[in-house]
Amino acid sequence: QQPVQSPQAVILREGEDAVINCSSSKALYSVHWYRQKHGEAPVFLMILLKGGEQKGHEKISASFNEKKQQSSLYLTASQLSYSGTYFCGTAGGGTYKYIFGTGTRLKVLA
């Protein structure tokens, strides 16, 4: 079943912070976050592994709550370049079937 992201959409001013959540009904072993610009393919941002390890950007961080089956992406001091649609992705439940969350549209205004 597809992970559910919240909020569906968010509008920010430059310099503001945002949190995007990804919730799954199945156990999560690892979660990836991607950003997709209009007309382009998704681009990998970071990975969250079971046990809390994360790899990613400077001003973009994430957390992974295995018990709640949820991951959150934190964008601090947002820039215009952060605009796009964010997706969480996972091969949940120990399978190779890799699926994406419902997506969150983020727009940063000057």
Partner 1 sequence: NAGVTQTPKFRILKIGQSMTLQCTQDMNHNYMYWYRQDPGMGLKLIYYSVGAGITDKGEVPNGYNVSRSTTEDFPLRLELAAPSQTSVYFCASRARQGNTGELFFGEGSRLTVL
Kindly list the residues in this chain that would bind partner 1 in the complex (CB under 8 A): 2, 29-30, 32, 34, 40-44, 47, 49, 87, 89, 91, 94, 96-103
Distance CA 90, CA 37 (A): 20
Helices (H), 45-107: none
Distance CA 50, CA 20 (A): 19
Min separation Cβ 15 and partner 1, Å:
28
Min separation Cβ 37 and partner 1, Å:
12
- 44, 61, 64, 84, 101 from 49: Cα distances, Å: 15, 13, 8, 24, 17
**Whose Cβ is closer to partner 1: residue 19's or residue 56's?**
56
**Whose Cβ is closer to partner 1: residue 39's or residue 110's?**
39
**Whose Cβ is closer to partner 1: residue 37's or residue 68's?**
37
Min separation Cβ 46 and partner 1, Å:
9
Let me know: does 57 contact 108? Beta carbons within 8 Å.
Answer: no
